[in-house]
Amino acid sequence: MQPGQERKAVLSDRAVLASHVKKALAGFHDPTHLQTSPLVGLLALQPAPGETTTMALRQSLREAVELLRPAGSIPFTRSEWFGYRILWMRYIQSRSQYDICNELGLGRTSFYRHHQEALDAVASILWERHRSAETMAATPITRGRDASAIEQARAEALRTARRSPCQPVSLASTIDGALRMVAPIAAQQGVRLRAKIGYSLLQTFGDPAILRQLFLNLFMGALSFAAEDELRLTVVSGDKETIWRLHGLDETRLEADGLFRTTEFVVSQALLEAYNGRLWLDVADDGARVVAFALPTARSRTILMIDDDDDTLVLHERYLRAGGYLVQVARSSAEVHHALAAAQPDLVILDVLMPQEDGWEILQSLKILPTTAAIPVLICSVLDQPGLALELGAADVLCKPITQAALLQRVQALLAPADSAG
């Protein structure tokens, strides 16, 4: 077989790519192994400035595994989490099969089954990315940017969104702000932007700046494909997601000119992906082609952590985010009041031993105020005084140091009654 023929076989064989994915994950922390992996070429990886090929491939693998993370509404102990947790613990954390089986309560057969299913899912994700890279390389890119530059923009957008803290965000106010910014540019092109937005829209969770950039990208990208003098945005809000549709696009150019190969839409897809959203071409009730995108509105549970130790906050926040929870942080009573004024958490995690702060007083104030009395408080402290904590109104007590499994188990137990009532 000639070299060119061999490369063609590799590029067209999904099973071969899956094999490369498995080998790359097995050598996740081996720079030499990753540097020579065929995945670098298959995925058309272009390292960002200051980034090596190894770092770029490791980030792509990590992102693919992260896409297996179930929705935050699914309890952490459910089987839906097994595939994601197995890959994360096995390859990212380099833990042994014995440790993983012991933590998840799995036998060897169940471990292998979930492990293989998760590997297949990661291979499928990267296969689609490989196919996308092939398509982008074979198709002219609009706006004068090449495929590698757009792919780099996509990867950077995804990384930025996933590193950004999440908080409740009003979709109506966010999109209003984006419309005001784009309106003058649209007017210069003779296009009017019109939005039919219900201000009773459910909130979503994310970084306000990232979400505003998402809407800006979509509007700016759509302007280049406007068929008439007006672009209309309609919204349908449901219990689990809010679906947005952009009307007034030139259907003859949508695919011919590559709407979904422009920088704006590629980046928008990445930002939506980070927030478990999606972007696609749809058909409106009148038969016209429209751009549709969806953002989840299913409510994630919010936890307020009160602790003065930054290392503890970072560690426990990582534990909780892995469980699908949104996390707010307060290091003093003043920050506690500010956080409570902004949004009511579903659970408070409190350290009662803090310099210049009396954690017991914070606990008592939370239990006295009518607005916070019903919020369960989990005491996490080096002090082992469960009797006093429970007497003052705490729902449960954990003694530091705390493992991820123990913390998530207690949090799930405390939030379970509210989940059942909802």
CATH (domain of 318): 3.40.50.2300
* Dihedral of alpha carbons 192, 199, 239, 275, sign: positive
**CB neighbour list of residue 87: distance below 8 Å, 6 or more residues apart:** 25, 65, 68, 115, 118, 119, 122
Q: What are φ and ψ of residue 212, in 5° steps?
A: -65, -40
**Residue where a domain terminates, one of 281, 296, 311:** 296
The pLDDT of residue 247 is 92
Bond into 168 cis (ω within 30): no
- Statement: residue 413 has pLDDT above 50: yes
Residue 131 and residue 76 in one domain: yes
Q: Look at 373 and 262; give whichever has higher pLDDT.
A: 373
- One-letter identity of residue 276: N
pTM of the model: 0.43
CATH assignment at residue 217: 3.30.565.10
Residue 51 and residue 29 in one domain: yes
Give the residue-averaged pLDDT of 62-68: 80
| Residue written as token pair 């699908």 | 324
The per-residue pLDDT for range 184-229, each reduced to its tens digit, is: 888 888 898 888 766 455 667 777 888 888 888 888 888 888 887 8
- Is residue 261 situated within a structural domain? yes
- Is residue 155 situated within a structural domain? no
Residue 248 and residue 347 in one domain: no
Domain containing 214: what range?
167-296
**CB neighbour list of residue 154: distance below 8 Å, 6 or more residues apart:** 266, 267, 269, 270
CA–CA separation, 364 and 357 (whole Å):
13
Collapsing DSSP states into helix, strand and coil, what is residue 165? coil
Residue 308 and residue 415 in one domain: yes
CA–CA separation, 260 and 280 (whole Å):
9
| DSSP code, position 393 | T
- Is residue 285 situated within a structural domain? yes
- Is residue 157 situated within a structural domain? no
Number of structural domains, the chain? 3
- Is residue 154 situated within a structural domain? no
Residue 92 and residue 123 in one domain: yes
Residue 12 and residue 111 in one domain: yes
Cβ(385)–Cβ(356) under 8 Å?
no
- Statement: residue 344 has pLDDT above 90: no
Cβ(419)–Cβ(325) under 8 Å?
no
Residue 285 and residue 310 in one domain: no
Number of H helices, E strands in the chain: 18, 14
- Is residue 159 situated within a structural domain? no
CA–CA separation, 188 and 251 (whole Å):
22
- Is residue 239 situated within a structural domain? yes
The pLDDT of residue 10 is 38
The pLDDT of residue 349 is 95
Write out the H or E segment, with its range, that includes residue 413: helix 404-421
Cα distances (Å, whole numbers) of residue 267 to 17, 151, 404, 411: 25, 9, 33, 35
- Is residue 237 situated within a structural domain? yes
The per-residue pLDDT for range 85-133, each reduced to its tens digit, is: 999 889 988 889 988 998 888 899 999 999 999 998 888 878 776 665 5
- Statement: residue 79 has pLDDT above 60: yes
Residue 207 and residue 317 in one domain: no
The pLDDT of residue 46 is 65
